[in-house]
Amino acid sequence: MGLIPFFGRSAPPRLVLLSNREPIEHRCGPDGDHVVTEPAGGMTAALQPAMAATGGTWIAWGSGPADFEVTDPAGRLLVPPDRPTYLLRRIALTEKEIEEYYLDIANRALWPLCHLQLNHFTFNPDSWKTYVAVNRRFAEAADEEIDGRRATVWIQDYHLALVAGLLPKARNVFVHQFWHIPWPPPDVLRALPSARALLRGILANDLLGFHTRRYVVNFFACVADLLPTAKTDEKRGIVRYRNHKTTVRHYPISIDVRAIQRLSARPDLVERSRELREQSAPPGGQLILGVDRADYTKGIPHRLAAFGRLLDQHPELQGRVSLVQIAVPSRSDIAEYKDLEREMEHRTTVINQRHGTPEWCPIVLIKENLDMPTLVAWYRAADICIVSPVQDGMNLVAKEYIAAQDGRNGVLLLSQFAGAAEEMEGALLINPYDEVSLARILHVALTMGRRERELRLKVMQRRLSTHTVQRWIHDIFSDVKKLRGRR
Ligand code: ADQ
């Protein structure tokens, strides 16, 4: 299966991809040379292979400190540096634009809104104007890259919700967008004063993708509620609004399963994982793992509290189990994120003081950005992985953990509020808000027999082996090809 379906004899349309985050950043090294880093996160890693396969242009915010020292005056350079296959076009943002477009609207308004966290939601109308202006700059850059040719524009995520509506209409350009986070129900979306503008912008896409059926259902409910003149056919996944037809489908994102499996089988990583286990799990005991960006949607305090309760209720577990929480700091410019870091540290200290002994530290908090080989070594080392978001579009950690269980039999605890819960039959589903039941299910996982562990894992690994990120890209582009043909 090729990543991008074959387009017949005609040359494939030019691909122009837009995302807020860029696939690589440049910074200055110690000797004044330029060092390349790849920002953490599943999304850019998932999209790189598609760009490498097709060529084209990737347009993104140039957020690295030395980004514009290596580009032409239009902000462009060929990447990846070792085997250049596509063009990266960087957009420079001013301090004000970063504050208003990125922090205020994307992260203080749309992110909490879509994750149903209205207690964290704020809206600044001046910042919305900047959000529109930055989206316009992305659209103008895309239009320059298309340059009148036949093209497919692929927009990523909630930072760029208005781009489709700001692109000039052109018959030979197909525009589609993937929304990586949940889509909220109408009562929540109504809290956004610009909700109608947001919907109108998104409905300028020819195809719109979400992770799950539930988000598609919410989207149709929002259109019916806020844009009553739109005509919807939910069964066929079609919205017609102002003479434009948008197809709305769900495509669950996944991971490069083979790449994780290969890493997990590497002898040096098998050894590394043994060392990590020795360092952090009590001898003969078990290791529970959490891996997240430190974000209030990921339910980290909830899982720490449940682990504390587990230790309160089961004194026999003293010195028998440890929880390693890897939480890379994220969006630290926003007060709530700083508060979360403090809360994680506080809860960890309280539980460690209450239960720890000179030989045993119940919770180890690691606040580092780890490379994928090290993460995979941790996944291998853990008997249990706990993924407890209060809302999550998909959650790739759950899938990475299962893919890394080469010759192991780890148990996955997965929040019913993660998109991944719709696919991962075999996981122990949890409600992060229910501390009592979360502690109980942790105990179930710790005492689960080998046979049941293996059976559950097998179900998830079988599903994952065919539902890879390659399939995600292929399914989206198959639909792009069909819909473009019909047009
Ligand atoms: P995120 O909210 O970032 O993604 P997730 O899907 O779990 O959440 O992806 C996180 C990625 O970052 C994983 O690939 C993980 O390996 C990596 N990561 C986590 N902690 C790390 C650390 N300490 N060091 C290095 N890497 C780390 C958004 C949505 C999700 C959706 C994805 C993709 O919020 O719901 O699954 O996009 O669409």
pLDDT of residue 178: 98
The pLDDT-based confidence of 404 (bands split at 50, 70, 90) is very high
Any ligand 1 atom below 6 A from CB of 40: yes
70 has a pLDDT exceeding 70: yes
Any atom of ligand 1 within 6 Å of the Cβ of 369: yes
Give every strand in the sheet of 321-328, ordered side by side: 363-366, 321-328, 286-293, 384-387, 411-415, 428-430
User: Is the pLDDT at 7 greater than 50, yes or no?
Assistant: no
Among 43-57, 119-133, 229-243, 343-357, name the one with the lowest average pLDDT: 43-57
- pLDDT tens by residue, 162-179: 999 999 988 899 999 999
Q: Ligand 1 centre from 157 Cα, in Å?
A: 14
Mean of the per-residue pLDDT values for the chain?
A: 94
Does residue 83 register a pLDDT over 90?
no
Residue 326 and residue 385 in contact, taking contact as beta carbons nearer than 8 Å? no
| Three-state DSSP class for residue 401 | helix
Report the pLDDT value the prediction gives residue 479, as an integer from 0 to 100: 97
Q: Compute the average pLDDT of residues 396-413.
A: 96
215 CA to centre of ligand 1 in angstroms = 19
The CA distance from 296 to 337, in Å, is 7
Find the mean pLDDT for residues 235-245: 97
pLDDT at 52: 80
Q: Which two tokens stand for residue 67?
A: 């980004």
| Cα-to-centroid distance, 114 and ligand 1 (Å) | 17
Model confidence pLDDT, tens digit, residues 246-257:
999 999 999 999
Q: What's the whole-number mean pLDDT along residues 13-25?
A: 94
Beta bridge partners of 392: 418
**pLDDT tens, position by position, 56-69:** 999 999 999 999 99
pLDDT at position 250: 98
Tokens of 176: 């589609």
Ramachandran quadrant class, 423 (left: phi over 0; alpha: psi -120 to 50; beta: rest) = alpha
Among candidate residues 303, 316, 398, 374, the one with its CA nearest the CA of residue 343: 303
Nearest to 396 by CA among 146, 94, 181: 181
Q: Whose CA is nearest to atom 14 of ligand 1?
A: 42
Residue with tokens 């239960």, as numbered in its chain: 355
**How many angstroms separate the Cα of 57 from the Cα of each of 135, 154, 367?**
17, 10, 34
Q: How confident is the model at residue 17 (pLDDT cuts 50, 70, 90)?
A: very high
What percentage of the chain carries pLDDT values higher than 90?
Answer: 87
Least confident range from 8-22, 252-266, 414-428: namely: 8-22
* Residue whose CA is at the smallest distance from ligand 1 atom 27: 40
- Residues in Cβ contact with 238 at an 8 Å cutoff, skipping those fewer than 6 apart: 232, 245, 246, 247, 248
Tens-digit pLDDT profile for residues 441-461: 999 999 999 999 999 999 999
**Integer Cα distance of 416 and 292 in angstroms:** 17
Give the residue, out of 19, 110, 291, with the most ligand 1 atoms within 8 A of its beta carbon, to mutate for a pocket test. Answer: 291
Type of residue at 80: P
Amino acid 278 reads E
DSSP letters, 270-329, are HHHHHHHHHHHSPTT-EEEEEEEES-GGG-HHHHHHHHHHHHHH-GGGTTTEEEEEEEE-
CA distance 226 to 30: 54
Report the separation in Å between the CA atom of 296 and the middle of ligand 1, taken as the mean of its atom positions: 14
Whether 332 shows a pLDDT value over 90: the answer reads no
Nearest CA to ligand 1 atom 10: 41
Q: In what order do the strands lie in the sheet with 231-233?
A: 76-79, 86-91, 57-61, 14-18, 151-156, 173-178, 207-210, 244-250, 238-241, 231-233
The answer to whether residue 9 scores a pLDDT higher than 50 is: no
Average pLDDT over residues 314-320: 97
Interatomic CA distance for residues 115 and 99, integer angstroms: 21
Report the relative pairing of strands 25-28 and 34-37 from DSSP bridges.
antiparallel
Would you state the structure tokens that stand for residue 202, as one six-digit string? 């998104």
pLDDT at 157 over 80: yes
291 CA from centroid of ligand 1 (Å)? 9
| Span 415-424, average pLDDT | 97
Q: Compute, in angstroms, the gap from residue 326 CA to the centroid of ligand 1.
A: 12
User: Helix axis angle, 450-466 relative to 396-403, nearest 10°?
Assistant: 110
* CA gap 85, 14 in Å, rounded: 13
Nearest ligand 1 atom to alpha carbon 45: 14
Mean pLDDT for 461-478 is 95
DSSP 365: E
Q: What percent of the chain has pLDDT over 70?
A: 97
Report how far residue 8's alpha carbon sits from residue 399's, in angstroms, rounded to the nearest whole number. Answer: 34
Band the pLDDT of 31: cuts 50, 70, 90: confident
Query: CB–CB of 178/476 below 8 Å?
Result: yes
pLDDT of residue 37: 86
How far is the centre of ligand 1, averaged over its atoms, from the C-alpha of 229 (Å)?
37
Ligand 1 pocket residue status of 204, Cβ below 6 Å: no
